[in-house]
Amino acid sequence: MHENDQLTPIIRTKLYRPPEPEDIVCRQALHERLDAGLKLPLTLVAAPAGYGKSTAVAHWLEALDIPSAWVSLDEGDGDLGVFLQYFLAAVREMFPAVGTEVQAMLEEVEPVPVGTLAGGLINDLAAVDTSFVLVLDDYYLLGASQVDELFGALLKHPPRALHLVIITRRNPSLPLASLRAQGLMTEVRLRDLEFTQDEMGATFRMHHCCFVMVVAVTEGRLDLGPWQQTFYGEFDGRRPKRIIVKIIGE
């Protein structure tokens, strides 16, 4: 698409899936939601920083029995030619012969329209007869770019084998309302990523963490309500406890 795109080296480590923590807790409900999304072309995983989006998706991929690939994006990948090089490199990790039509377009001296590139990409991916997952992590770093336009066109006629997972801190500039209305997208949002009480308990026990809870003091006595009694007495297996009390107020 641009003459200098051919000179842009692929950083191979950007195609590596993030390593899993050794003590990760299985998020069964979240995995089931992601599994259900495989029937659709797109899964959007969107939440602020710190909600474990990438870790959750990487852990889910470990359990899948279909091919998958990963691209960790950064600000420089907003250029469409650069982005497509990484996209093709990731797909070729699974299917080495895919991408000849788009590759030829990228090598043209004159820029190729986005719609034409999208058509070529659809044709290339339509040749794949094995279902696969492609994860684009940190998609928000691309900003408003032609990549959104490319995927908007691609998702109008999605290749049957492709399931795209976009991980982002904010909504991409894609036709989300239309994708929802057409039933083409699964969404994983903040509420889906929040730990259940069982998952929190498993995590804390795994790390031998202490628990912190707020307890009212009534007439000089700790006022353990039903939730606090359960949390204190049952949630951590009735182990011996050391209590640190911080008094706030009068």
Amino acid at 56: A
Scanning the structure block, which residue is given the tokens 């951590």?
A: 236
Over residues 135-139, the mean pLDDT reads 98
pLDDT at residue 1 tops 60: no
* Whole-angstrom distance, CA of residue 114 vs CA of residue 99: 16
DSSP for residue 222: E
Question: pLDDT digits over 72-115, tens only?
Answer: 999 999 999 999 999 999 999 999 999 999 999 998 878 899 99
Question: pLDDT digits over 12-29, tens only?
Answer: 999 999 987 776 777 888
Give residue 116's pLDDT band: very low, low, confident or very high (50, 70, 90).
very high
Over residues 122-139, the mean pLDDT reads 97
Amino acid at 193: L
Give residue 4's pLDDT band: very low, low, confident or very high (50, 70, 90).
very low
* Whole-angstrom distance, CA of residue 168 vs CA of residue 190: 11
Task: Please report the pLDDT score of residue 248 as a whole number.
Answer: 55
Scanning the structure block, which residue is given the tokens 């684009």?
A: 136
pLDDT at residue 36 tops 70: yes
Task: Please report the pLDDT score of residue 180 as a whole number.
Answer: 96
Instruction: Give the whole-number percent of the chain exceeding pLDDT 70.
Output: 76
Question: pLDDT digits over 159-202, tens only?
Answer: 999 999 999 999 999 999 999 999 999 999 988 888 776 776 66
Which residues contact residue 191 at a Cβ distance below 8 angstroms, ignoring those fewer than 6 apart?
none
| Terminal-to-terminal C-alpha distance of the chain | 69
Which residues contact residue 35 at a Cβ distance below 8 angstroms, ignoring those fewer than 6 apart?
60
Cα dihedral sign for 60, 65, 66, 70?
positive
- The DSSP line for 154-199 is HTTS--TTEEEEEEESS--SS-HHHHHHTT-EEEE-HHHHSPPHHH
Task: Please report the pLDDT score of residue 138 as a whole number.
Answer: 97
Alpha-carbon torsion, ordered 65, 67, 72, 75, to 10 deg: -130
* Whole-angstrom distance, CA of residue 67 vs CA of residue 102: 21
Where does residue 29 fall: left (phi above 0), alpha (psi -120 to 50 degrees), or beta otherwise? alpha
* Whole-angstrom distance, CA of residue 78 vs CA of residue 163: 21
Helix intervals (H) in 15-99: 28-37, 53-63, 80-94
Task: Please report the pLDDT score of residue 3 as a whole number.
Answer: 42
Where does residue 196 fall: left (phi above 0), alpha (psi -120 to 50 degrees), or beta otherwise? beta
* CATH class of domain segment(s) 3-194: alpha beta
- What is the domain partition of the chain in residue ranges? 3-194, 210-250
Residue 44 main-chain phi, psi, to 5 deg: -105, 120
Give residue 242's pLDDT band: very low, low, confident or very high (50, 70, 90).
low
